[in-house]
Amino acid sequence: MAPDPPPGPSCCLRSGIVAKGKGTPATVAARRGGISFRLHEYAHDAGTHEYGPEAVERLGLDPARVFKTLLAATNDGRHVVAVVPVPASLDLKALATVVGAKQATMARPDDAQRLTGYVLGGISPLGQKRALPTVVDRSAADFATVFVSAGRRGLEIELAPDDLVQLTGGVSAPIAKG
């Protein structure tokens, strides 16, 4: 069970009980997956493009527990989802190795939005438009729960790392650096 949320501007919801609206594809996926989760909402500043650090600051969280969702393209034409801590960078060589490619580059932002169905800053590893191979950095396993985007700017979902890997059909591997 997830710990109580930190004090501050968050709205705590459990197991798909949605108090405001119908939810996002990410929250629907979490509910359908039958996992325990909490949503944390904050007022997104439309002028910021540093979405992960904004979530950390607004929710008063440990940056190592907040993960960003990135998309990479492999040399063999595949797209892959990488989930890494906000303060870290994605090690593209490590990601390529994990997915059996020779190399990977960051996907173009318009490709990321088209493939996931989410806008930049709100891309969730859950409930994406198209199921893509997903790799979650192994550091997530250091925590009882982690935070990822819940499918829109200003909304984070807190869940157990094992549930994140299971719901995405992904794997856990060391793909973060820094």
pLDDT 10s digits, 104-117: 999 999 999 999 99
Q: Is residue 129 part of a domain?
A: yes
Instruction: Go through the chain and tell me how many residues it has.
Output: 178
**Does residue 13 have a pLDDT over 80?**
no
Residue 10 pLDDT level (bands cut at 50, 70, 90)? very low
Domain count along the chain = 1
pLDDT digits (tens, 9 = 90+) for 71-125: 999 999 999 999 999 999 999 999 999 999 999 999 999 999 999 999 999 999 9
Share of the chain above pLDDT 70, in %: 88
Report whether pLDDT(24) > 90.
Answer: yes
Mean pLDDT taken over the chain: 89
Structural domain contains residue 8: no
Tell whether the model's pLDDT for residue 11 goes beyond 60: no
Q: Which residue type is seen at 56?
A: V
Sequential DSSP letters for the chain:
-PPPPPSSS----BTT--SSSS--HHHHHHHHTT--EEEEE----TT---HHHHHHHHHT--GGGBEEEEEEEETTS-EEEEEEETTSEE-HHHHHHHTT-S-EEEPPHHHHHHHHS--TT---SSS-SS---EEEEGGGGGSS-EEEEEEETTEEEEE-HHHHHHHHT-EEE--EE-
**20: in domain:** no
The model's confidence at residue 48, banded by pLDDT at 50, 70 and 90, is confident
CB-based burial label for 103 (10 Å; 0-12, 13-18, 19+): middle
Domain with 113 in it: what CATH number? 3.90.960.10
Q: Is the pLDDT of residue 1 over 60?
A: no
Q: Is residue 12 part of a domain?
A: no
d(CA 23, CA 164): 18
Closest Cα partner for 111 from 60, 146, 70?
70
Structural domain includes residue 98: yes
Residue 48 domain boundaries = 25-177
Q: What is the pLDDT of residue 21?
A: 54
160 is a domain residue: yes
If one compares 131 and 16, the residue with the highest pLDDT of the two is 131
> Would you say residue 112 lies in a domain?
yes
Whether 14 is covered by a domain: the verdict is no
Q: Are 67 and 83 in contact (CB under 8 A)?
A: yes
